[in-house]
Amino acid sequence: MEATNSASTHPDAAGSPVLLIGVAMVCKLVLNTARRFVYPFAPSLSTGLGVPLTAITSLIGVNQATSILGILFGPIADRFGYKRTMLAGLGMLVVGMAAAGLFPYYHVILITLFLAGLGKSIFDLALQAHVGVTVPFRQRATAIGLMEISWAGSALVGIPAIGLAIQAWGWRSPFLCMGVMGLLAGMLLYRAVLKDLEGTQQGQRVAKVKNLWNLLGSKGSVKGMLVFCLLFSLANDNLFVVYGAWMEKRFHLSIVALGFGTSVIGAAELGGEFLTALIAGRLGLKRCSIGGLVLTIFCYFLLPLWGHRVLTALGALFIIFFLFEFTIVTTLSLSTELLPEARATMMAAFFSAAGLGRALGAVIGGHVWLASGLYGTVLVSALSSALALVFFVRGLRHWPCK
């Protein structure tokens, strides 16, 4: 059966699609803010906990590593239901944040950020799988594109709100605030999602987790997508971890100016998510993914040419991150239909591949920058993206949709 005909088989499971999208955006805004707020406020946490800054950066590493662990929970979501899994993810966030707010110790914060990161990973894979079951394929990019606006929203709204909370009530306040917000979001989700669903057919619910993992290696399209996701995410983080160092060295920017640069990236992410929602479903997810990849590769090579002035450099970064977000959200939408018999397992593998790619990009990015500067950085990112394009095209060459 072609993917274009794989419409919602459970249209009553989500109630109003508009309501589901709205509630999902609220939930993801809380989860994404919890994932990202440690980056800019690491010095405040360091001072509040009385530990060196390097101890806080270790917390960031633990938080990011949880995206790789999400693959363990995909088969569980497929067997036991997407609604339960989403609520469990939010529950991890609430418990962790409440514990950190009440018991402000380093090891408690470590567990808190581990639970917050894992809860986000579990929630995301179950949500995308639920959307894959309840939203027709032609409308899926619009739904997922709108929900992913919450990622940019965490940088543009969530993190500034956290800053105001820290200024008004101290460094412990964000944990309590996000715990309460997570609880409210869970209550909204419980009411909005009317029916629980599992990915496998009723007669297959007893399938072993190992069998669900084996499905990942049974299709060339799935393998191609996962390698693409790893390489494309590696390329992006290879640049992301050093763009601040490049801007500071090239233009002698202040911390405030670098913060503005982060806002530019947040705006780019927002634009990419909107573009996916507006056009990807109409033009074709495969076609848009390939187009986004090709343009991203081209722009990596142009970055040194545009990097002689602050405004053009920021413009170049905007375009690169805009194209990356458009491409990754479009391929995310496409991936919801690659393994319809085990959607959560597929989405868990997608997010784990992306997490591994980001981790590898972060590790090599600093070394590449120190060894060869901006030219080496853009070359590695462009070549990694080009390899991602090869695996994507080969893996999905028999995909029936454009």
Report the candidate in 265, 292, 264, 298 with the shortest Cα–Cα distance to residue 280: 292
What is the reported pLDDT for 331? 95
Asked if the model's pLDDT at residue 241 lies above 70, the reply is yes
The larger pLDDT score, comparing residue 335 to residue 138, is at 335
Residue 266 has what pLDDT? 82
Element containing residue 79 per DSSP (H, E): helix 74-80
Indicate whether 393 pLDDT > 80.
yes
Tokens encoding 64: 């990011």
Contact 374, 303 (CB under 8 A): yes
Give the integer Cα–Cα distance in Å for 177 and 277.
30
Statement: residue 390 has pLDDT above 90: yes
Backbone φ and ψ for 7, nearest 5 degrees, come out as: -80, 180
- Residue 189 in tokens: 């989700």
* pLDDT reported for residue 212: 61
CA distance 201 to 208: 13
Q: Does residue 312 have a pLDDT over 80?
A: yes
pLDDT digits (tens, 9 = 90+) for 249-300: 888 766 556 656 667 888 898 899 889 988 888 888 999 999 999 999 999 9
Question: How many angstroms separate the CA atoms of 266 and 154, rounded?
Answer: 8
Model confidence pLDDT, tens digit, residues 33-84? 998 888 767 777 888 888 887 787 677 777 777 878 877 888 888 877 888 8
Task: Considering only residues 54 and 156, tell me which one the structure prediction assigns the higher pLDDT.
Answer: 156
| pTM, to two decimals | 0.79
Per-residue pLDDT, 65: 75
Q: Taking the domain 3-211, which CATH number applies?
A: 1.20.1250.20
**Which class for 201: exposed (0-12), middle (13-18), buried (19 or more C-beta within 10 A)?**
exposed
- Kindly state the helix (H) or strand (E) to which residue 50 belongs, with its residue range: none
3-class DSSP state of 252: coil
Residue pair 252/355 in contact by the 8 Å Cβ criterion:
no
DSSP-derived secondary structure for 164-218: HHHHHH-TTHHHHHHHHHHHHHHHHHHHH--S---SS-GGGTT--HHHHHHHHTS
Provide mean pLDDT across the span 107-126. 91
Q: What's the pLDDT at 255?
A: 55
Mean pLDDT of 225-241: 92
Report the percent of the chain where pLDDT is more than 90.
36
| Residue 165 confidence (pLDDT) above 70 | yes
| Residues 328/354, Cβ–Cβ less than 8 Å | yes
Q: What 3-state class would DSSP assign to 254?
A: coil
Query: pLDDT-based confidence at 6, cuts 50/70/90?
Result: very low
CB 169 within 8 A of CB 48: no
**Cα–Cα distance, 310 to 67 (Å, whole number):** 34
Q: Do domains 3-211 and 212-395 have the same CATH topology?
A: yes
Supply 177's token pair.
């605030």
Measured between alpha carbons, how far is 310 from 185 in angstroms, rounded to an integer? 40
CATH of 212-395, one of 2.40.50.140, 3.90.1150.10, 3.40.50.720, 1.20.1250.20: 1.20.1250.20
CA triple 237-239-242, angle to 5 deg: 105
For the chain, give the mean pLDDT: 84
> Are 382 and 300 within 8 A, CB to CB?
yes
Of residues 1 and 163, the one with the higher pLDDT is 163
Q: Report domain extents, the chain.
A: 3-211, 212-395
145 burial (CB, 10 Å; 0-12 / 13-18 / 19+) is buried
Residue 385 has pLDDT above 90, yes or no: yes
